[in-house]
Amino acid sequence: MEVPYHPPVKRSVEIAGHKTSISLEPVFWDMLKERAELEGSPINALVALIDAQRLEAETPPGLASAIRVWLVTTS
């Protein structure tokens, strides 16, 4: 199976009423969409959850990195 490499794609999401842009590779956007659908939650709500969890870390990573790690470690 050939793995498709693609540069990150920037999209806007809303967290706690504030818009922010996140750059993720398409495979991670697809994974995020699938997880949101499985959990019956909007993507914005799932990103807000990940954001809240990352801010609890001793050294919080960037949001895009946190999303990637969350998707890989919770699937």
Residue 1 has pLDDT above 70, yes or no: no
CATH code for position 26: 1.10.3990.20
In a domain, 4, yes or no: no
- The residue to which tokens 């967290």 are assigned: 15
In a domain, 2, yes or no: no
Neighbours of 55 (CB within 10 A): 10
Q: Which is nearest to 64 in space by CA: 12, 28, 23?
A: 23
pLDDT digits (tens, 9 = 90+) for 23-50: 999 999 999 999 999 999 999 999 999 9
* Total domains in the fold of the chain: 1
State pTM to two decimals. 0.90
**Cα–Cα distances in angstroms (integers) from residue 21 to residues 4, 14, 50, 58, 75, in the given order:** 23, 9, 15, 23, 24
Residue 16 has pLDDT above 90, yes or no: no
In a domain, 28, yes or no: yes
Structure tokens at 21: 């842009």
> What is the pLDDT at residue 5?
83
Q: Give the structural domain span for 58.
A: 9-73
